[in-house]
Amino acid sequence: MKTTLEPLYEVGLRVPAFESTDGLSWRGPCPKCGGHRRFLIFTDCVISRWNFKCDGCGFKGTVGNTWPEVAQHHHNDKPSHQSVTLDDRKKEEEKRLSELQASRKWLRFHARAMEDPDIVTRYQERGIPQEWISYWLLGWTDTKFYLFEREKYQSSAMTIPKIGQNEEILNIDYRLTNYKKGSGKYRHEFGIPVAPFLADTSCKEGENLYIVEGAFKAMVLYLMLEQEHGESQVVGLAGAGTHSGIAEYGKHFKNRSVILDPDAQASAEKLCKGMTNETKQVFFPTKVDDAILAKDLSYSLFKKIVKSSRTHNKTTRRFT
């Protein structure tokens, strides 16, 4: 019986890039380290027990343990009897992306936000001034449908478009305002790979690259770094473990700093070690946007902490 990897779109797997010889095990790029054909996943049983391993970075587990939400969504899915070719998958992904591009819905969401002072206030309370709501085209929708444990729910949501380096739309994040307990508060466009948030889409190289978790942290940190605008970039990862493409991107910056949440330091260390050049692992005892908004963290203190942080290098192993 053939299977499909489709449910793992939701966690950032580049599904169309995966290949299978028997339809039961698949090989493709690792969602953590990006390593090409390094990630092997077996889909020969119920989705919660699908197990995977990356022979690049060692990331391994089962879908049920690593992404329980996805396993729950799909636990009744029957394996597909049809074999879906790589070409079909690529076409499906491209179709969904071009539908998203054509819809221009993130612009409607933005217009909706700007006409409602309460929504503008919501963003301001998260540290985003009005002119930056416009700059990042942040928006609002009253009706975002989402699935949880195979039930369909509806919520209003803050919308964050993920714009790429060529000003193209890559995905949209939905921060649900009213979500079922245990379902997670973020959603994105289904069937399209997750994308990182770039605070400055025009910044392709420069002095400093800061890597944080999620778009809001990226925005709040970027705003604090006002004096570095034009020479520094802040990237918000789609998830602490979603590192695909970041090592390559990091090559274009003189300094790299990884600032993940306090509970994601193992992931931060892996990300640092996966970078091509020396990279700082910066630890704050609280989430970086909370520290900035509570005014515990000034620009000069931030720079001091970054400077004194532990540096990782790809060749670290040599010294141990």
Residues that bind Zn ion (CB under 5 A): 30, 32-33, 35, 54, 56-57, 59
Select 33 or 212, whichever has its Cβ closest to Zn ion. 33
Select 8 or 225, whichever has its Cβ closest to Zn ion. 8
Smallest distance from Zn ion to CB 305, Å: 29
Nearest CA to 256 among 299, 297, 313? Answer: 313
- Between CA 172 and CA 163 the distance in angstroms is 9
Smallest distance from Zn ion to CB 58, Å: 7
Here the tokens at position 4 are: 């499909």
- Between CA 136 and CA 149 the distance in angstroms is 32
Smallest distance from Zn ion to CB 56, Å: 4
Smallest distance from Zn ion to CB 31, Å: 8
Structure-token match 């909370």, residue found: 290
Apex 124 CA angle, 118 and 130, nearest 5: 90
Strand partners, 152: 147
Smallest distance from Zn ion to CB 243, Å: 8
Smallest distance from Zn ion to CB 171, Å: 21
Structure-token match 């060749």, residue found: 315
Find out whether 54 and 60 touch, Cβ atoms under 8 Å. Answer: yes
Determine the 3-state secondary structure of 112 from DSSP.
helix
Radius of gyration of the chain (CA): 20
Select 31 or 139, whichever has its Cβ closest to Zn ion. 31
Select 15 or 119, whichever has its Cβ closest to Zn ion. 15
Q: How many residues does the chain have?
A: 320
Nearest CA to 162 among 211, 196, 186, 139? Answer: 196
Select 54 or 199, whichever has its Cβ closest to Zn ion. 54
Select 89 or 270, whichever has its Cβ closest to Zn ion. 270
